[in-house]
């Protein structure tokens, strides 16, 4: 579940967990700048306790246009911010007393929720973010990132950083617009209109450029079952460990039809 300009994702998933039994519940992603890492850890541990260990915390920097222009906060030194954020967050999630004095955060506090620490995924796309994510987190969560870019950029750099730090191989969760439809052109037209903003934000624009695509409509995985099978196989073979389906409501019945298709692949 995304955390943008509507419901709080962590709180919502803590409620959803009461109605589910098996499914993993994850945020993709909660912006870090507006929440102190102590508050983030407290919320995440509470949600994971409610979910009996099925909650995964996905966090990210968001974007300068949101943090500075909308929220009035500084977006200065984003990589430094995330490194210090994780250095405070991860010990708190493990139930440890944190004594940290950095450039941006100074924290000396315990947190005694008593819940299992959730996995932490970071929205990491640039070199610096992939490196620190491999060193300090459990994986990355990507958006607007195609198979070629996962294979040649995100996965190898993330895996190398994790290996150098002596950490387990990280997860690579990738979100792609998808629709099982006989009207591929219509689905791409929908994506071109409704997802156009993601082709304009610098971090996503960089991923689309690496893939050699003009915009989100070109990345969308749309068509019949054979087309979708091939696209999912490319993402898997590129190093994607978790596929996040962003279903395009391209034509009547597309939502249910695509969901049924995806469930058949579990």
* Model confidence at 228: pLDDT above 90: yes
Query: What is the C-alpha separation between 171 and 128, in angstroms, rounded?
Result: 17
- What integer is the mean pLDDT of 202-219? 97
Cα 221 → chain centroid: 18
What is the widest separation between alpha-carbon atoms in the chain? 57
- pLDDT value at position 255? 94
Residue appearing with tokens 């079952």: 225
Query: What is the C-alpha separation between 120 and 101, in angstroms, rounded?
Result: 22
- 163-199 pLDDT, tens digit per residue, is 999 999 999 999 999 999 999 999 999 999 999 999 9
* In contact, 55 and 25? CB cutoff 8 Å: yes
- What integer is the mean pLDDT of 198-213? 97
% of the chain beyond a pLDDT of 70: 100
- pLDDT value at position 266? 85
Q: What is the mean pLDDT of the chain?
A: 97
- Nearest CA to 41 out of 86, 84, 104 is that of 86
- What integer is the mean pLDDT of 235-244? 98
- pLDDT value at position 10? 98
Query: What is the C-alpha separation between 99 and 120, in angstroms, rounded?
Result: 20
- 63-109 pLDDT, tens digit per residue, is 999 999 999 999 999 999 999 999 999 999 999 999 999 999 999 99
- pLDDT value at position 109? 96
For 7-43, letters b (16+ CB in 10 Å) and e give eebbebbbebbeeeeeeebbbbbbbbbebebbebbbb
- pLDDT value at position 63? 96
Query: What is the C-alpha separation between 46 and 14, in angstroms, rounded?
Result: 8
């Amino acid at each position: 579940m995304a955390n943008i300009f509507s419901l709080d994702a962590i709180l919502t998933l803590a409620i959803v967990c009461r109605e589910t039994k098996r499914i993993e519940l994850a945020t993709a992603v909660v912006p870090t700048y507006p929440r102190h890492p102590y508050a983030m850890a407290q919320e995440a541990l509470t949600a994971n306790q409610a979910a009996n260990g099925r909650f995964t915390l996905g966090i990210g920097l968001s974007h300068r246009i949101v943090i500075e222009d909308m929220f009035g906060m500084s977006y200065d030194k984003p990589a430094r911010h995330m490194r210090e954020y994780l250095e405070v967050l991860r010990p708190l999630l493990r139930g440890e007393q944190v004594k940290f004095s950095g450039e941006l955060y100074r924290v000396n506090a315990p947190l005694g929720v008593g819940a299992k620490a959730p996995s932490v995924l970071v929205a990491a796309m640039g070199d610096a973010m992939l490196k620190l994510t491999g060193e300090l987190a459990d994986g990355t969560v990507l958006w607007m990132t195609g198979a070629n870019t996962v294979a040649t950029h995100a996965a190898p750099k993330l895996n190398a950083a994790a290996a150098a730090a002596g950490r387990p191989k990280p997860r690579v969760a990738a979100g792609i617009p998808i629709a099982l439809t006989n009207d591929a052109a219509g689905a791409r037209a929908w994506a071109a209109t409704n997802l156009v903003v993601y082709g304009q934000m610098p971090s996503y624009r960089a991923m689309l450029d690496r893939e050699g695509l003009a915009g989100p409509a070109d990345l969308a995985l749309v068509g019949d079952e054979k087309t979708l099978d091939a696209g999912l196989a490319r993402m898997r073979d590129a190093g994607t460990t978790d596929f996040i389906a962003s279903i395009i409501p391209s034509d009547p019945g597309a939502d249910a039809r695509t969901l049924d298709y995806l469930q058949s692949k579990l």
